[in-house]
Structure 1
Amino acid sequence: MKIKLKKLAKWSGISIISAVLLFFLLDLIFPLKADVEYAPVIMAKDGTVLHAYITKDQQWRMKARLDEITPQLREAILFKEDKHFYHHYGVNPLAVGRAVINNIFHLRRTSGASTITMQVARMLDRKPRNYWNKCVEMFRAIQLEKDYSKEEILQLYLNLVPYGSNIQGVKAASILYFNKTPDQLSLAELTALSIIPNRPNYLVIGKDNDRIIAERNKWLHRFEAAHLFPETVIQDALQEPLTASRHAAPDGMQQFSWRMRNVYPAATEIHTTIDPAVQKKAEDITTNYSKTLNLQGVYNAAVFIVDNQTHQVLAYIGSPDFEDSFHQGQVDGVRAVRSPGSALKPLLYGLAFDNGINTPKTIIADVPVNFKGYAPENYDLAFHGNVTVEDALRQSLNIPAVKTLNDLSVKTFTESLVKCGFASIWHDRKKMGLSMILGGCGVRLDEMTNLYSCFANNGEYNALQWTVPDSVWHDKKIIRCLPEGTKIISPASTYMLTKILSELHRPDLPNLFDHAGNIPRIAWKTGTSYGRKDGWSIGYNKRYTIGVWTGNFSGAGVAGLSGAGTATPLLFQLFNSIDHNASNEWVQPPQDVAFRLVCARTGMLPNDFCNEQVTDLYIPGVSKNEVCNHMKEVWISADSKFSYCTSCLPVNGYITKLMPNISPEMAVYNTVHHIPYEKIPPHNPSCTRTFEGQAPMINSLQNEMTYLIIDKGQQQLQLSCATANDVQTVYWYINDQFFGSCRSNDKLFFAPADPKVKISCTDDKGRTSNIQIKVKFM
């Protein structure tokens, strides 16, 4: 007997080892392929599904995360499908034996032996149901148990289980039937879903709800008998009605979803930072507001909202109506490259503050200028004379901005934009000129909004956060960005900008805005592109930055379109909706800014002659410390006909008078516009001294420019200049030959005879300026 037992044990051991070796051999030859394609899902910050894409095999199969499989769902599925799931290795021998005996005695299949693992194996490789394929299922089930944890197998089951039609998996079923994710299902709802896979064509939600309720309640009573859930919970579930039906798959935020899909092409679930509440408010407001714009011929708008503290993208509206194909509603207005108009000016002035070029009270002459053939004009086609930098920014004057960019340099300004991720600026950086500050470049709404978000963060740049919790994405087109938390402009400059941009007494405040009390406490700037094709308004407070663009994707201009008139009202409505209790406590002067008194006439440090002084902000050690020179002492004759210098000043018979020291361009401006000003009398004609100071500025022709002459000998070029206010007469020379003289504000004309022409202008103080021009004769 003992020998027989030993032989039995020996052969049993050999059989087990052989079976194990055979399994691993077959596992090596026939490896398990558990690759499952899931429908890509775009999710909001709270887990809400914003948009879902169908799989290549046209199935709604969405991947349920482990944290979405709630204890209730887990218990209900295991109780119904496989009570011993955690106690077997893919195959339940007792269930197999019971099924074999029942099938032999009844000569037909009365009960199955499929575990959850075996069902997963069958769903991974669907084949006809027969005994051979059942053996294959068992083999595959053991492979699954070898390669995956129990939690992963349960997850696979819940992701593959059929729910009729082309719906697979509990997540797709819960979303398409209940508009919920699995972790939000009630006990009654998850029980209803647990019974459908056994008969997906017989129990169809929305069609067979009464049958489903009856079957659901039967299982709820079984749960109750097994004390699986509290009795009160089960009683509530028994009373819960079933009103669910098949819904369309979520297809919101089309432009944003498509953008995320392209950025993360391999992802099955993209968990974005979109805040559903903020997004819904923004969509409702934008849609309603856009209807009023339609009456003006403006059919498109885009909105982008950023959280300044987390840098997360909270709302994204590419267009108010995606289905409006007649007005190109499918275009993504957030990514569209458009002209910014004047919306880049705050960064320009911030950089100018940091480079010591000017301060808020610095005076800039808003008068006609010409930069090598480029003669910018203001939006209203008017000139305003001397203006402060802060007024130039508030009024969005163009000429002061172009002058400031010329002083700063286009290269410096462009490099700052590139570092902030402006992709189109990077591609066209070598082509940029002074016109870029007036909209002569291309930008996107997301780029502009993030730039203004830097102003809300003390000038600190941070890349936008598109996904949670910590994945950061940069546009593929962006070649180089600053490291996170890098300063673009100083806190002092951002404080100056915010003070200026939060001022309400400005022309870009909407004229028809309902009530002054409804104006949100924000700093904002508008922009209107050439031809009135783009209307921008971007604003920020401590918590949010909101960018608004209005216009037509077709590129058609509209006479009534402007940043102030069409974009700012929407900006105000958005701020009042999502952050109506905002305060301005964040506008506090940083340590690197200081206050000082300056002359109101020039913005420079006052001298003894400056009677009007104002308080100005400046950056110690950076801002200029030039002393004001708008007035100077002049010695004039008793009859006020002549002025004297130290060389020709008589012993007596003169008087000392304080007179304005006006720049040449302002002297010309005052003369042309008939603005009276006190002129210094002409210098003593008997004096032969050559004076230092400002030479005449030739403003009718540009140095090194080529001029086309069609009719040689007849077509003439104009000679004019701007001079200091103590100049009465100027003398013109062509190729070093005297041509003629005239009063300082008069014009002369000459017909060029040579292809290269030197032009010289000398004032009555002996100061000379020269230019060279080229002439091409046709």
Structure 2
Amino acid sequence: MQRTHFLSRFIAPFVRLSKKVWCWFFALNLHRKLLLLGFLFCAVFVGCLQWRPLPASLNQQQYASILLARDGSLLGASIAPDQQWRFAPVEQLPEKYLQSLLLFEDQHFYRHPGINPLAIARALKGNMAAGKVTSGGSTISMQLARLLRQQELQASKLKSSRNLHSKLAEAFLALQLEWHLSKSDILIHYASQAPFGGNIVGLRAAAWRYFGRSPEYLSWAESALLAVLPNSPALIHPGRQRDLLQQKRDRLLQRLHQQQLLSDLDLQLALLEPLPERPQVLPQIAPHLLATLKKRAPEKNLFHSTLDMPLQQLVNQIAQRHGARLANEGVNNIALVLIDHQSMETLAYLGNKPFNKSHRFAPDVDIVQRPRSTGSILKPLLYGLMLQEGELAPTSLIPDIPTQINGYSPRNYDRNFRGAVPAQFALAHSLNIPAVRMLRDYGIGRFQEKLQAMGMSSLFRPADDYGLTLILGGAEASLWELTSIYARLAAAARDGDKPQPLVQWLLPQPDGEQRTENSKPVIRQGAAWLTLHALIEVARPGNDNYWRDFAGSQTIAWKTGTSYGLRDAWAIGSNGRYTLGVWVGNAGGEPATFISGQSSAAPILFDVFDALPSVNWFEKPSHALKTISVCKDDGYLAGGQCDATDIEIPSISHYEKITPHHRRIYLDARQQFRVHNQCESVSNMSIRDWFVLPPAQEFYWRHYHGNYQPLPPWRKDCIAESAQQDDDIPLELIYPQPRSRIYIPVDLEGKRSRVILKAVHRDPAATLYWHLDDEFLGETKIFHEREASLEPGLHKLLVMDKQGYKVERRFRVIGK
């Protein structure tokens, strides 16, 4: 009861006010009544135009995804979710199409507000004269309104009908579109939503599907055809009165000629152009890149890339040609990235070229973005960092001997040992043992941090998890990131400390917009240039190894890598303008017996470089280098103890390592034997500086350097006290290594295998005596190897010669 009383008190004033308004209205004369009603109608009508919502389909279309090259050509497309080939709207209608459309559909488009009463009257007169509907009098705005209403009805699962009510609704919506949109926007919306036959919607899609090019490059005949086609889209299909479609097109061309938009010659040529037979298959030249970009930006439908269409086609052809060769070797997938390291733009992107489209070859996987085992591809980066930070000179000798570090025993690809090699030689020949020793000296965690700073995002585990295998494929990286790192290395060698983008560009930046995430190179100019200079010496595959003999050959700094287990092969190289990265392998990770970076990936790399424009190598950055004097024999600072030569190192390097391999020795008067002050007077001694490697390095060095001169022997009367006079120990244990942990397998009969202990001595005629855990094992001559049966636990090995020189080593044998 109280609530009713409250409502009556609240409503009563409004009832009284309405009665007064009606009384006032009826008191007006007829003229004023009509004027007021007209004003109210206009107010309501304008309010509807302004605030009635436009159809959602105007700006909420499902578009196909398309990828364009740097010149606007189509690299690939994927159909819209509703299975329509509907491309994103053009930004501006091409002039030829615009003139054709306006002349055919709506000559007075710019002079009416959305509906054209004269056109409607003309259509009614014509229809009455013909006794049937021959013209609808619709403007372009009304046709756009009809398309939008049809989409709304389809979304609501309602049937559309052609009657007076629908015509009035279209007319009102046309007025509303004109109220909210500019004339150019209405034209673009119409051209983007008009049907062009089958599931082809919009001007951009029609231009590519029927003519294989962008709308702005259409001819007059093609533009005229697309102007008339939405009027009768079914006529485009073969067998459906295509002659009527051609007649409509030709009549429009004649009218364009009459409007003096076409010359006589243009008209003749346009009339000769045939209609397209059927929609063309859209190119799929970079499908994996389109899929990757769409995954990263699902809200985008149009991707303008930096890819170069001719180069993209070129690398596809080269990869296709090599695919058959590699398939015979059990290798079924190829990926490739080409970067312009001057602009840091990606010019070619081959995400995955499978031998065929079989599901087992994973043809849809974008391998460019997938982390894979790096093999030896990181070695140049470690070399460059050590040069820059003063821990290495290009010619410094690095041991290349049997090595075991915490149970890890790296091996060179050829299973040989060279004793010691210059650092730049080790890099050019991709020797594993020197690389592992360099990483041990540099530090695993330190190297990992530098790689992360260079852009390797896949190094997310602790450094100890990678261990020393980090330099030989124990980590994973994508071809995308590795090629980018090598491109920035080349850019640093050319441009110095100029800030570089952390990743190469795939999409062009808008004009005037700063490219973000720039940073100074991790490997600076001097070290970068010296690193690339060392990579120029890498032996090329086949006859390409004689590239210097040919005048047209170009300088390429390159590196290969092959992963452990023969699953991945890499080749990455740079010339004066481009950096190219190639990966080959099997997407599923299956090994291939004959796969290698040198034989599998490198031929593709050099075929692509041969097809690219020849570019001069950049000049040496003398300002970023400095000269030091080093020993010819070992590449360390001379210090007055050797024959010296000048080399260049980075100007910011603080290299201070004096030669450890040159010793001052004393010889007798005839300079045949070593002597000391206990067996020869000082006045009869001659002093010499001698190049001497440690015994293990010397043992293998001799096989490759016939001119190596070992230390002269002691004179017989000096041998007795030589051990007290000389701190050089002439013997060395090769196996086991210091702090070794040895795992000894058990054979099928349950017996533990025997271990081969190995040592070397400077004197080939020396006799060595072996003691294991204080028990005498025996003696060896010439070949110093002993078998031993070892039980799990800690052991002590002692080896000595007749002069009393000895070496002792403790090691652990690990049981099951």
Q: 2:648 aligns with which of 617, 626, 645?
A: 617
Q: 1:119 aligns with which of 140, 143, 146?
A: 143
Q: Is the 2:769–2:801 Cα contact (8 Å) retained in structure 1?
A: yes
User: Which residue pairs with 1:477 in the alignment?
Assistant: none
In the alignment, is residue 389 of structure 1 matched against residue 423 of structure 2?
yes
Q: 1:18 aligns with which of 35, 38, 44?
A: 44
User: Which residue pairs with 1:476 in the alignment?
Assistant: none
Deviation at 1:141, TM superposition (A): 2.3
2:659 aligned counterpart, secondary structure: coil
Deviation at 1:173, TM superposition (A): 1.4
Deviation at 1:267, TM superposition (A): 1.3
Q: Which amino acid aligns with 1:200?
A: P
Q: Is the 2:67–2:304 Cα contact (8 Å) retained in structure 1?
A: yes
Q: Is the 1:174–1:180 Cα contact (8 Å) retained in structure 2?
A: yes
Q: Which amino acid aligns with 1:215?
A: K
Distance of 1:32 and 1:273 partners within structure 2 = 32
User: Which residue pairs with 2:507 in the alignment?
Assistant: 467
Deviation at 1:464, TM superposition (A): 1.5
Q: Is the 1:118–1:140 Cα contact (8 Å) retained in structure 2?
A: yes
Q: Is the 1:281–1:578 Cα contact (8 Å) retained in structure 2?
A: no
Distance of 1:19 and 1:326 partners within structure 2 = 61
Distance of 1:395 and 1:299 partners within structure 2 = 27
2:663 aligned counterpart, secondary structure: strand
Q: Is the 2:341–2:491 Cα contact (8 Å) retained in structure 1?
A: yes
Give the direction of change, closer, same or farther, for the CA distance of 1:769–1:514 in structure 2 (3 Å limit).
closer
Give the direction of change, closer, same or farther, for the CA distance of 1:180–1:119 in structure 2 (3 Å limit).
same
Q: 1:65 aligns with which of 86, 90, 94?
A: 90
Give the direction of change, closer, same or farther, for the CA distance of 1:207–1:582 in structure 2 (3 Å limit).
farther
User: Which residue pairs with 1:56 in the alignment?
Assistant: 81
Q: Is the 1:532–1:561 Cα contact (8 Å) retained in structure 2?
A: yes
Q: Is the 2:388–2:652 Cα contact (8 Å) retained in structure 1?
A: no
Q: 2:294 aligns with which of 250, 255, 261?
A: 261
In the alignment, is residue 435 of structure 1 matched against residue 475 of structure 2?
no
Give the alignment of 1:340-355 within 5 angstroms.
340-355=374-389
Give the alignment of 1:667-682 within 5 angstroms.
667-669=698-700, 677-679=710-712, 681=714
User: Which residue pairs with 2:686 in the alignment?
Assistant: 656
Structure 1: segments with no counterpart, 5+ residues: 473-480
Please report the TM-score for the alignment, with normalisation by the length of structure 1: 0.85
Give the direction of change, closer, same or farther, for the CA distance of 1:246–1:32 in structure 2 (3 Å limit).
closer
Q: Is the 1:690–1:765 Cα contact (8 Å) retained in structure 2?
A: no
Distance of 1:315 and 1:206 partners within structure 2 = 41
User: Which residue pairs with 1:603 in the alignment?
Assistant: 635
In the alignment, is residue 335 of structure 1 matched against residue 361 of structure 2?
no
Distance of 1:395 and 1:746 partners within structure 2 = 30
Q: Which amino acid aligns with 2:427?
A: L
Q: Is the 1:535–1:551 Cα contact (8 Å) retained in structure 2?
A: yes
User: Which residue pairs with 1:478 in the alignment?
Assistant: none
Deviations 1:114-154 (A, max 9, x none): 22122112112212211112222223223323333322221
Deviation at 1:163, TM superposition (A): 1.6
Give the alignment of 1:310-709 within 5 angstroms.
310-321=343-354, 323-325=356-358, 328=361, 330=363, 331-426=365-460, 430-458=464-492, 461-462=500-501, 463-470=503-510, 483-503=517-537, 506-511=538-543, 517=550, 519-553=553-587, 555-579=589-613, 581-584=614-617, 586-611=618-643, 613-620=644-651, 622-635=653-666, 655-658=685-688, 659-669=690-700, 677-679=710-712, 681=714, 685=720, 699-702=734-737, 704-707=739-742
Deviation at 1:302, TM superposition (A): 2.5
Q: Is the 1:727–1:764 Cα contact (8 Å) retained in structure 2?
A: no
2:228 aligned counterpart, secondary structure: helix
1:501 aligned counterpart, secondary structure: helix
Structure 2: segments with no counterpart, 5+ residues: 1-27, 151-159, 494-498
1:128 aligned counterpart, secondary structure: coil
Q: Is the 2:412–2:433 Cα contact (8 Å) retained in structure 1?
A: yes
Q: Which amino acid aligns with 1:656?
A: S
Deviation at 1:530, TM superposition (A): 3.6
Q: Is the 2:490–2:529 Cα contact (8 Å) retained in structure 1?
A: no
Q: 1:291 aligns with which of 324, 331, 353?
A: 324
With 416-425 and 628-637 compared, the bigger mean Cα shift is at 628-637
Deviation at 1:763, TM superposition (A): 9.2
Give the direction of change, closer, same or farther, for the CA distance of 1:774–1:388 in structure 2 (3 Å limit).
closer
Q: Which amino acid aligns with 2:655?
A: K
User: Which residue pairs with 2:112 in the alignment?
Assistant: 88
Q: Is the 1:357–1:624 Cα contact (8 Å) retained in structure 2?
A: yes
Please report the TM-score for the alignment, with normalisation by the length of structure 2: 0.82
Distance of 2:317 and 2:57 partners within structure 1 = 50
Deviations 1:578-635 (A, max 9, x none): 22x3222x13234120233421101123344423x43311124524233435333324
Q: Which amino acid aligns with 2:403?
A: V
In the alignment, is residue 247 of structure 1 matched against residue 280 of structure 2?
yes
Distance of 1:394 and 1:345 partners within structure 2 = 10
Distance of 1:597 and 1:639 partners within structure 2 = 31
Give the alignment of 1:165-176 within 5 angstroms.
165-176=198-209
Distance of 1:574 and 1:464 partners within structure 2 = 19
Deviation at 1:85, TM superposition (A): 2.3
Deviations 1:228-276 (A, max 9, x none): 4555544442343435432223333332332222222221111111111
Deviation at 1:426, TM superposition (A): 3.2
Report the RMSD for the aligned CA atoms in angstroms.
Answer: 4.2
In the alignment, is residue 270 of structure 1 matched against residue 303 of structure 2?
yes
Distance of 1:252 and 1:234 partners within structure 2 = 35
Q: 1:129 aligns with which of 162, 176, 183?
A: 162
Give the alignment of 1:152-301 within 5 angstroms.
152-204=185-237, 208-230=241-263, 232-301=265-334
Q: Is the 1:755–1:776 Cα contact (8 Å) retained in structure 2?
A: yes
Q: Is the 1:667–1:725 Cα contact (8 Å) retained in structure 2?
A: no
With 488-497 and 294-303 compared, the bigger mean Cα shift is at 294-303
Distance of 1:359 and 1:113 partners within structure 2 = 84
1:66 aligned counterpart, secondary structure: coil
Q: Which amino acid aligns with 1:571?
A: L
Distance of 1:482 and 1:667 partners within structure 2 = 53
Deviations 1:458-503 (A, max 9, x none): 257531111123599xxxxxxxx99424212011111112222223
Q: Is the 1:301–1:319 Cα contact (8 Å) retained in structure 2?
A: yes
2:234 aligned counterpart, secondary structure: coil
User: Which residue pairs with 2:3 in the alignment?
Assistant: none
Give the direction of change, closer, same or farther, for the CA distance of 1:308–1:687 in structure 2 (3 Å limit).
closer
Deviation at 1:182, TM superposition (A): 1.0
Deviation at 1:457, TM superposition (A): 0.3
Distance of 1:104 and 1:337 partners within structure 2 = 72
Q: Is the 1:363–1:603 Cα contact (8 Å) retained in structure 2?
A: yes
Deviations 1:72-118 (A, max 9, x none): 21122122212232333333344445556777888864532322122
Give the direction of change, closer, same or farther, for the CA distance of 1:290–1:358 in structure 2 (3 Å limit).
same
Distance of 2:517 and 2:601 partners within structure 1 = 32
With 706-715 and 6-15 compared, the bigger mean Cα shift is at 706-715
Give the direction of change, closer, same or farther, for the CA distance of 1:15–1:705 in structure 2 (3 Å limit).
same
Q: Is the 1:353–1:493 Cα contact (8 Å) retained in structure 2?
A: yes
In the alignment, is residue 37 of structure 1 matched against residue 71 of structure 2?
no
2:372 aligned counterpart, secondary structure: coil
2:233 aligned counterpart, secondary structure: coil
Deviations 1:325-374 (A, max 9, x none): 17616144433443333222211211110121112111223222221222
Give the alignment of 1:752-767 within 5 angstroms.
755-757=793-795
2:570 aligned counterpart, secondary structure: strand
Q: Is the 1:708–1:777 Cα contact (8 Å) retained in structure 2?
A: yes
